[in-house]
């Protein structure tokens, strides 16, 4: 088997992939790029014309969706408990929450980040704040789901928790935590205490520091 190459930026959505790799012990060649790569690593556009991270290259296979990459890494060598297999309880919900994480939860976060943090000069802060409110309202589904559970599916930690958990981690780092319910903050705390998460974060940080040193 080839060693998959993961192009990412530290603490970006690529953390879902780095984290999944650490959980299942899949060796990856982690290539940390400066953010945003579109401007600071223009050669990356030749590999991924979208210019987005993460991107996973595994032989001829190329993926550019963080949640798909996390699921792929959990299953590429055969089934692991980090995924839920067809026929298992909560298989449908597993798929649903894994997609929900980026399409429904992270999407409004990124609009908020764009207009309220990165491109304030555009004068669209009001729109950014409206998306922040939308993000908080959209947490209702995971809040209700976790009212009676420790993890989203099948009573165990899975890729669905990695994908949704990353959105909650991002909320904390970009100033969206005020509207996050206490129960979800406690869930996030459980997830981020996992040794594989701590290792993933450290690997990305190491890559970011090496990059800074090389660019200094
Ligand atoms: N839906 C994709 C979104 C990828 C994405 O937009 N990534 C951001 C970083 S978190 C990015 O690369 N932004 C830089 C850009 O678009 O130039 C995923 O989940 O991986």
Using 50, 70 and 90 to split pLDDT, how confident is the model at 215? confident
How large is the C-alpha radius of gyration of the chain? 17
Q: Is the CB of 52 under 6 A from ligand 1?
A: yes
Average pLDDT over the chain, rounded to an integer: 97
Three-state SS at 54: coil
* Cα(27) to centroid(ligand 1), Å: 23
Q: What is the spatial distance between Cα 118 and Cα 108, in angstroms, rounded to a whole number?
A: 14
pLDDT of residue 115 exceeding 90:
yes
> Residue 116's closest CA among 99, 98, 133, 101?
133
Whether the CB-CB separation of 10 and 173 falls below 8 Å is answered with: no
Q: Which two tokens stand for residue 4?
A: 């998959």
pLDDT of residue 1 exceeding 90:
no
> Residue 154's closest CA among 73, 92, 109?
92
Burial of 192 (0-12, 13-18, 19+ CB in 10 A): middle
CATH 1.20.1050.10: which residues of the chain? 91-193
Element (H, E) at 51: none
Q: What is the spatial distance between Cα 134 and Cα 111, in angstroms, rounded to a whole number?
A: 10
Whether the CB-CB separation of 22 and 12 falls below 8 Å is answered with: no
pLDDT of residue 58 exceeding 90:
yes
- Put simply, whether the predicted model's pTM sits higher than 0.75 gets the answer yes
Q: What pLDDT, on a 0 to 100 scale, did the predictor assign at position 167?
A: 98
CATH 3.40.30.10 is the classification of domain 5-80+196-206: yes
Atom of ligand 1 nearest to the CA of 51: 17
Q: What is the spatial distance between Cα 161 and Cα 24, in angstroms, rounded to a whole number?
A: 14
pLDDT, tens only, 139-191 = 999 999 999 999 999 999 999 999 999 999 999 999 999 999 999 999 999 99
Using 50, 70 and 90 to split pLDDT, how confident is the model at 4? very high
Q: What pLDDT, on a 0 to 100 scale, did the predictor assign at position 104?
A: 98
Atom of ligand 1 nearest to the CA of 52: 12
Q: Is the CB of 53 under 6 A from ligand 1?
A: yes
Q: Is the CB of 6 under 6 A from ligand 1?
A: no
Architecture of domain 91-193 in this structure: Up-down Bundle (1.20)
* Cα(50) to centroid(ligand 1), Å: 9
Three-state SS at 135: helix
């Amino acid at each position: 088997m080839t060693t998959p190459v993961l192009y990412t930026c530290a603490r970006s959505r690529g953390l879902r992939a780095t984290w999944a790799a650490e959980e299942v012990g899949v060796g990856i060649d982690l290539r940390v790029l400066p953010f945003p790569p579109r401007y600071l690593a223009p050669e990356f556009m030749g590999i991924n014309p979208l210019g987005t991270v993460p991107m996973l290259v595994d032989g001829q296979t190329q993926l550019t969706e963080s949640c798909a990459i996390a699921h792929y890494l959990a299953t590429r060598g055969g089934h692991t408990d980090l995924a839920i297999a067809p026929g298992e309880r909560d298989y449908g919900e597993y798929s649903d929450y894994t997609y929900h994480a980026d399409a429904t939860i992270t999407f409004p976060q990124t609009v908020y980040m764009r207009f309220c943090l990165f491109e304030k000069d555009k004068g669209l802060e009001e729109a950014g704040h409206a998306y922040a409110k939308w993000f908080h309202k959209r947490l209702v589904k995971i809040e209700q789901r976790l009212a009676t559970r420790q993890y989203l599916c099948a009573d165990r930690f899975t890729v669905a928790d990695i994908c949704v958990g990353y959105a909650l981690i991002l909320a904390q780092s970009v100033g969206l935590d005020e509207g996050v319910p206490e129960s979800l903050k406690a869930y996030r705390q459980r997830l981020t205490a996992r040794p594989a998460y701590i290792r993933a974060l450290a690997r990305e940080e190491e890559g970011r520091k090496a990059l800074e040193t090389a660019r200094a």
